[in-house]
Structure 1
């Protein structure tokens, strides 16, 4: 004889399962800076990316199970390409892709025995900072329109609190990276050193002179930015102590 489980209990169990799975991974942060939108993820892999381009002005970041969020990334790229080809490139926007992901995750959460252990961000850089769009989509299909910055995965609340202490939407790229690194370094309540080799960094550059605004930062450029970010962080601490 099968056991009866109330819908409320079933939803609670699935939500707890998804949250625990997501919390086991490292965090990622998305924040505005003077030149656009910065993405930083704690990621040791050089090939399994948490941050990717979706379309011209739109990028994707995720935490959780790689195979699950990579399926979402692929779905978004295909949808955007078909939509842009069939209509016009300007007809593809971040809200549309966020809604696509919300519908997909909501359906999986409500109809599947096992929810996907993922959180996703869709960000679109605008012509001005005021028109930037950042959407967070959770494992149950909920969508939140964020302003300024957000953190997800791991100890997201602790990371977000650390960002709040230093966040400045008009900061230079190196200072914004310093803010992100400071927050991720305190993810588990203990200070740890972050190196360029353990980070995945990308930006949507507002002033980039072409329709594709996404740029992955790696190699020598990332090393230089990390050095500048560490210098910015040291300078900021000195000013605070004086």
Structure 2
């Protein structure tokens, strides 16, 4: 699978700005993390990036390179800004495409996997006439990962661990959409579960408590015996030893019933 990974903006184009954060720097960091996870955890993935540093690259250069290279998928990473009040995550495919298109099917998968972990308001799946969506010959998606000028979103965006989680969400979507094969030593994923609650408010209280103890965590919904539960996840690792180390930290923070959930 050949992925053309496009961190938006760069060089003389800073992208969205707000709360002391510059969009071009954030999206490059997320894109690098996506590339690193893909190349370390999956077989048969070839990643080309439109830029790997703070460089000006025209929209035409990005799409021409992706088309010439023969990419299977074009993924453009962005952050938003508007009026300080708008917040959340959204993604886009080209406006000419039907909901039954292959590109729309990929968007469905990507959106589900990203929104499951990013702790941002879900602004939905959208369509637009953006150049990188219109001029690419392969399926293309543009993701908008929060509003830099919004206080809530900016607090997340400025956190490197959040950017790692968002990168993992993008990778989860790509792995599912393209049936990527994990490397032999990456087939199991060890998740640290620090509580399961039927009340989302209770789950979010647990997250706040863990973060006050220096443990990054988030809430995701899951169905157990046909009922919706809210799990608190405090890390996910492909290495069992690393997962055990994190579990110890969570238990030392006072969550004695935390455990490792193995998926693979």
Q: Same fold (TM over 0.5)?
A: no
TM-score, scaled to structure 2: 0.29
Greater per-residue strand proportion: 2
Higher relative contact order (CA 8 A, sep 6+): 1
Higher helix share: 1
